[in-house]
Amino acid sequence: MREGVRAVVFDWAGTTVDYGCMAPVEAFVAAFAARGVDVSESDVRGPMGRAKREHLVALLALPAVAERWVERHGRAPTEGDVEDLYADVEQRLLPAALAHADPVPGAVEVVAGLRENGVRIGSCTGYPGGVMAPLAAAAAESGLAPDVVVTPDDVPRGRPAPFMCYLNAVRLDVFPLGHLVKVGDTVADVLEGRAAGMWTVATLLGGNEAGLSRDAEAALSPVDLEDRLAAARARLLEAGAHHVVRRIADLPAVLDDIDGRLARGESAVTAAQPEPRDGQTGRRPAGASA
């Protein structure tokens, strides 16, 4: 068995496919709009990464969203409203996910390189199984096909609980958890990886925390883009990410760093966040820890 990193568990939307993590945003915004309630892209991005029913409940609990719901419907949302909304969201997720199924730049090449070096490839998601199966098939046609796909349907609870990471380790037959790396683009991904005792790497460009489609990213000035990435990076570090990389193509250099730290006897549970290096965003707000 490989001495350093033995497996990488990737997130899907915003990490390996769907640049900007747009599909869930589109599905939630449209489902609420159909009920006369406006939710913003920022509202939807806050709980991103969680199982989609839990995501919906968290969204309804936001004070601004709850107020808009009451203004429109004259009462707080009921359990029946939650079930109705979730059924609609789930129906909208599949076409949205398939419309955004293209791998993010560098993802296919990174996965291929890891395999060549004996690293197993796992994955997990906030999408339900009925969405993930066709999305995985579509991504495979573009060359992105992890060894394992785990959804919240497979475990007692989705993120930030660590169960999807545990099931990846079981299905990949890889241990100990301290030799696995979780890669994602949301705070929920980071919390999941840390709860599992894994090294945790977060991505910025194309991810939910930066929250930029390709067009929105291109429209920003270089200074505004760097400020946005710095704010996203600070949130991901605060959640506990060991590393934050600018793009997924920067992951191999970070995995080399983790290999070295493992060789020196460092643990994912106790390791400090390192200083920025090539492949990690160079700007850091005052007071950020790494």
Q: Which residues are marked as active site?
A: 11, 52
Contact (Cβ atoms closer than 8 angstroms) between residue 147 and residue 8 = no
Residue 73 phi, psi dihedral angles, 5° rounding: -110, -10
- Partners of residue 200 on adjacent β-strands: 182
- Partners of residue 9 on adjacent β-strands: 122, 182
User: How is residue 183 annotated by DSSP?
Assistant: E
**Beta strand spans in 138-229 (E):** 180-184, 199-203
Q: What are the C-alpha distances in Å from 125 to residues 104, 155, 165, 183?
A: 16, 12, 10, 11
**Burial group, residue 263, by CB count within 10 angstroms (0-12, 13-18, 19+):** exposed
The b-or-e profile of 184-214 (16+ CB within 10 A means b, else e) is bbbbbbbbbbbbbbbbbbbbbbbbbbbbbbe
**Bond into 160 cis (ω within 30):** yes
What is the number of helices (H) and of strands (E) in the chain? 12, 5
Phi-psi map region of 20: left, alpha, beta (phi>0 left; psi -120 to 50 alpha):
left
- Partners of residue 181 on adjacent β-strands: 8, 199
Which amino acid is residue 20, in one-letter code?
G
The span from the CA of 196 to the CA of 161, in Å, is 8
